[in-house]
Chain A
Amino acid sequence: MKTFRFVLFLSLTTALGISLNTKIGQVPPLGKFLSPFHGFWQNAENEEINAPVEITSNFLTEKVNIHFDDLLIPHIFAQNEKDLIYTQGYITAYHRLWQMEFQLYAAAGRISELIGEGALTFDRSQRRIGLAFGAANSEEVFKKEEPEIYALIEAYTQGVNDYIETLDYKDLPIEYKLLDYTPEPWTPYKCFLLIANMHDMLSKGERDLEHTNALKLWGREIFDMLYPETHPAVDPVIPPGTAFDFEPIPVTKPDVQFPLSFTDPIINPPNPNNGSNSFVVNGNKTANGKVILTNEPDLNLNAPSIWYLAHLSSPTLNCMGSTLPGAPGIVIGFNDSIAWGNTNAKRDLVDWYYIQFKDESRDEYLYNGKWVPTRKVVEEFKINGGDTYYDTIVYTHHGPVVYDRNFNGRRTEITNLAMRWTAHDPSKELKALYLGNKAQNYEEFMDAFSNFYGPPQNYSFASVNGDIALWINGKFPVKWEEQGKFLMDGSNVDHEWKEFMPMEHNLHVRNPPQNFLSSANQHAADSTYPYYQYDYNFEYYRGRRINDRLRLMENIKVEDMMKLQHDNFNYLASESLPMMLNSIDSASLTDKGFEYFKMLREWDYFNEPDRDAPAVFQTWWNNLRAKLWDEIDSAEVSLYRPHNYNTYYILKNFPEFEMIDNQSTSAKESAGDLFRITFQETIDELEEYLEQDGKELTWYKFKNTTIRHLLRLDPFSIKNIKIGGYSSIVNAASGGHGPSWRMVVELGDGEVNAWGIYPGSQSANPGNPTYGHMVEEWATGKYRKMLFDKNIQNDTDRIVYSIQLKPDN
């Protein structure tokens, strides 16, 4: 009896212990999580930094001093580069460990290990597009060919791992406790995976399969009308008139028939708004004769922020700027002599090849009239709370067969499509950054970033001796016209990429007569450029606005450049709205309708945060697009809507275009009818919207710019930020996307001065008092001066904490 009683209590106690130690559904393990000695209470920080002031490490050869300034930017002073980069790894992990790891779980297609079955499709597509495959290829080559820089990547790795070693459960970032897992050791491979992840964000965008469907459905004439490659309005990155003094690699378009098979893409495209602005002016344009460079990458606004600021200093390197947590070195920044920024150089770098397998075994595929062997890789998915899932991925010489019988859209007919993507090829971006961090002049800058294969970037440059320049760096296949714009035949040699453009043929310009340079993801060059350049998603507005302004601006000061970064001019509205309003007969409007009409008529096209008109215009524009392109949205095959500029262009110049007519009515509608119908719809919609509690049209509230935590946890996110702008506006802050780091650097007279701000905080801990502390300043156009002084420790006003890392002897 007593024994039975004991066993009963013991079982109950054990069961309780286990259930309090286990994550159940979304609920974290309550015992662990609520324990005051271990749980979330331990993540509540009362000081900005809680770290020992002295840390010993058996990796270091000399002492390293780290001074944190009032933004908690670490200024790392080391005696050699290995110690420096080791410490960068250590300190980055101190602030950002969970994010570093989590973003690579995503890149590697391992999220289902953390959150279960729900992420399996995402994970499978991540593995199928081969981010890990590309990262492994890069690491292999890098290790062999760049042993000295690889040793620095190992130092970074060691730094991260030495920090992880110091952690007990109680010290883990809160997200580990919520999801109930622990950090894995860092590896050099992960640094390469991070670069692959950048490719995923920036070079993967394409619409090849939708193009294939559209061409088959509508034929050539309508296809070209909907998706033209360029427009006369384009103001390219490389100023027209720039000479191209090289002999291009010849390429001739073979006599090809594209395989026109309906296919459904199911790989998520990256956010089409991913892009950036960078502009630079030389001494002829500025008030004090110095040069000024700005940059701001527009990406998803996440918490923790995508960027982490750092200042790295050793006898051979002194560089400051934004880093990507997980990669050594500075990504966007400046040193004693130069500054650089970059914007995404969009180009179609993913092409799809139709594959014919010999039989069900998929051991061989047809290529150039022969059966060629495939390679198969079995991927394992250890689903949290479920059975392990296995997926076989077949590789051809083109690349992985992403779409096949196990991974296909809603079509019954199975298509096998192999993906060719530059991100699969070995590359050396980390070398480019390392050399770029140390570059002292134009030649060294050029030499450094010629190693930057991808994702291709428009690199803007300014130097303390007054040079300004821009290089479009990347690995670009030499394509014949329309190569890869549609699904291609994987068995036909003529459909393949044969050669890549030599680096010296990449577009560039130095000290142009216009005295400024800019890039904002628009077309790279005008039609005199001898290579075929194509992307479905070139930007049409930000670049024109920036160039319009820079052409006019004189005696520029640093503040003027900051103001231009925050410019809220809505170019889209300035072109489209007059045309839309002209078709409205204001006499026929109701009082309410006239109020809206008047508001728009009086609007100056600036998307300031506290105005109503931007919300009305945006709603009208969205309704207009929805009505105009409803045939595209409702088609049985996957298609996509033409971009904003082309929408405007068609409505303006072809008001009788057949798609403008609403198929469901007997009357034949033209553009004017469409404007009138959608204006009324917009009024009705907004009036209904305003009847809801707490809803208003004030632009910033209406668009609700939010910095969202990577786990989409509301309490860790920052909502309703008071900022103007929108996508396609220079101040590109839209709902969850926008300027992720703003930098302005002034160079001249042997001096480099920089200012910056980003929407977030160095500390990723929602329990840190500084969490998100830069957001408000970021939104209101304020900047912080970057401390870039070798005698920084004496700046007692701005240094808030210092740590010394010491060798272990």
Chain B
Amino acid sequence: MKLIIRIILIGALTYFLSPFLHWWTGMVVAMVVCALSPSTLLNAFVAGFLGVGLVWLGSAWVLDVANESAFSSVIVQLFPIEDPVLLVLLAGLIGGISGGLAGTTGASFRHIFQKKKQQGYYD
């Protein structure tokens, strides 16, 4: 549940802030969100990966559909791949990896200040 909330939070912030800021906005978002809420490194990676990656994938896909892939099928010829859909996937992957790694970094930052989890009194 927490993971889903975190994904949504990272995704929403990435989506709304990116148009006004740099392309690496998603990385900063993922890092900050994961530094402010407790999680394991793997959990943070997944949150960053999906949060940023899905927004990049989805946004690229929406733009490409609206453009009927007219321009992506031109640009794809500059790359050693053939199908413009792969450019949409590549955008998602790059957003995902950069978000995931940034999320992991955020979580690992938080871990520095986290005492080893002690058995709580009430559980």
Query: Hey, which bits of chain A sit against chain B, CB under 8 A?
Result: 2-3, 5-6, 9-10, 12-13, 16-17, 20-21, 30-32, 34-44, 46, 169-170, 178, 713-716, 766-767, 769
Contacts and interface: CB of A to CB of B under 8 A. Distances in A.
A21 B24 contact: yes
Contacts of B90: 30, 34
B105 A13 contact: yes
What 7 A-B pairs have minimum CB-CB distances, sorted nearest first? A44-B71, A36-B59, A715-B77, A35-B23, A767-B71, A9-B105, A36-B60
Interface of A is mostly: helix
B60 A713 contact: no
A34 B60 CA distance: 8
Contacts of B101: 9, 12-13, 16
Q: Which range contains the number of B residues in contact with the other chain? A: 35 or more
B75 A40 contact: yes
A715 B77 CA distance: 6
Given A6-B109, A37-B18, A13 B31 contact: yes
Given A13-B102, A713-B78, A715-B77, A36 B91 contact: yes
A69 B123 CA distance: 75
15 contacts: A6-B112, A16-B97, A17-B27, A17-B98, A20-B24, A31-B94, A36-B59, A37-B18, A41-B64, A44-B70, A44-B71, A46-B67, A170-B19, A767-B70, A767-B71
Contacts of B4: none
Contacts of B31: 13
B104 to A, nearest CB: 5
A3 B71 contact: no
Nearest to B58: A36
Contact of A37 (B23, B75, B77, B97): B23
Contacts of A20: 23-24, 94, 98
B98 A44 contact: no
Contact of A769 (B70, B72, B105): B70
B19 A37 contact: yes
Interface string B19-53: 10011110100010000000000000000000000
B56 A36 contact: yes
Interface string B77-108: 11000000001001100110110011011001
A43 B64 CA distance: 11
B63 interface: yes
A31 B77 CA distance: 18
A517 B106 CA distance: 77
A439 B79 CA distance: 51
Given A13-B104, A44-B70, A766-B71, 8 more contacts: A13-B101, A30-B94, A36-B91, A38-B18, A40-B72, A41-B64, A46-B67, A767-B71
Nearest to B64: A41
B1 interface: no
A16 B97 CA distance: 9
Contacts of A17: 24, 27, 98
A2 B63 contact: no
B78 A46 contact: no
A716 B87 CA distance: 18
B111 A35 contact: no
Contacts of B63: 36, 41-42, 44
Given A6-B109, A39-B23, A41-B60, A46 B91 contact: no
Contacts of A766: 71, 74
B95 A46 contact: no
A767 B74 CA distance: 8
A44 B60 CA distance: 11
Contacts of A6: 105, 108-109, 111-112
A43 B70 CA distance: 11
Contact of A34 (B67, B70, B91, B104): B91
Contact of B87 (A2, A16, A34): A34
A767 B76 CA distance: 12
A31 B71 contact: no
Contacts of A5: 108, 111
Contacts of A715: 74-75, 77-78
Contacts of B66: 46
Nearest to B57: A36
A426 to B, nearest CB: 43
Contacts of A43: 71
Contacts of B108: 2, 5-6, 9-10
B120 to A, nearest CB: 21
Contacts of B60: 34, 36, 41
Contacts of B27: 13, 17
A35 B26 CA distance: 10
A43 B67 CA distance: 10
Nearest to B14: A37
Contacts of A34: 56, 60, 87, 90-91, 94
Nearest to A12: B101
B68 to A, nearest CB: 8
Contact of B72 (A16, A21, A37, A44): A44
A41 B72 CA distance: 7
A802 to B, nearest CB: 24
Nearest to B18: A37
Of listed A9, A17, A30, residue having the most chain B CB within 10 A: A9
Nearest to B56: A36
Nearest to B87: A34
Nearest to B21: A37
Contacts of A42: 63
Contact of A35 (B70, B91, B102): B91
Contacts of B95: 35
A34 B78 CA distance: 13
Nearest to B24: A17
Given A21-B24, A44-B67, A37 B59 contact: yes
A13 B78 CA distance: 27
A713 B75 CA distance: 10
B77 A714 contact: yes
B97 to A, nearest CB: 7
A38 B27 CA distance: 15
A16 B23 contact: no
Contact of B98 (A9, A31, A714, A767): A31
Nearest to A37: B18
Contacts of B97: 16
Nearest to B25: A37
Of listed A21, A39, A170, residue having the most chain B CB within 10 A: A39
Nearest to A8: B108
Given A17-B98, A716-B74, A31 B24 contact: yes
A464 to B, nearest CB: 44
A34 B19 CA distance: 14
Of listed A20, A40, A41, A44, residue having the most chain B CB within 10 A: A41
A169 B19 CA distance: 10
A781 B92 CA distance: 46
Contacts of B111: 2, 5-6
Contacts of A38: 18, 22-23
A178 B78 CA distance: 10
A33 to B, nearest CB: 9
A170 B59 CA distance: 14
A769 B71 CA distance: 9
Contacts of A41: 59-60, 63-64, 71-72, 91
A36 B53 CA distance: 11
Given A2-B112, A43-B71, A715-B78, A10 B24 contact: no
B59 to A, nearest CB: 4
Contacts of B19: 37, 170
Nearest to B19: A37
Nearest to B31: A13
A35 B108 CA distance: 26
B74 A3 contact: no
B51 to A, nearest CB: 15
Contacts of A769: 70
Contacts of B59: 36-37, 41
A31 B63 CA distance: 17
